[in-house]
Structure 1
Amino acid sequence: MTIQTEQRQEYQKKVEAELRKMNAQIDEYRAKVDQSTAELSATYHDQMEQLYAQRDAAQRKLEELGRSSDEAWTEIQKGFEQAWNELDASFKRAVDSFSK
Structure 2
Amino acid sequence: MSDESRSARDAYVEKTKAKLDEWNAEIDKLQAKADAAQADAKIEYQKQLEEMREQRDEAEAKLKELRGASDAAWDDMKAGFDKAWDSLSSAFRNARSRFD
Taking structure 1 as the reference length, the TM-score comes to: 0.84
Shift of 1:16: 0.9
In structure 2, how many angstroms separate the alpha carbons of the residues matched to 1:35 and 1:85? 31
The one-letter code matched in structure 2 to 1:73 is: W
User: Alignment length, in residue pairs?
Assistant: 99
Q: Percent identity?
A: 36
Cα separation, 1, equivalents of 2:6 and 2:45: 41
Across the aligned residues of Structure 1 and Structure 2, the Cα RMSD in angstroms comes to 1.7
Normalising by structure 2, we get a TM-score of 0.84
After TM superposition, the runs of 4+ consecutive aligned structure 1 residues lying more than 3 A away are none
- Give the structure with the larger helix fraction: 1
Gaps of 5+ in 2: none
Deviations, residues 29-88 of structure 1 (Å, cap 9, x unaligned): 121112111111111222211111110110011111111112221222233333332333
Instruction: Pick which of 55-64 and 85-94 moved more.
Output: 85-94
Q: Is the Cα–Cα contact under 8 Å of residues 57 and 83 in structure 1 kept in the other structure? A: no
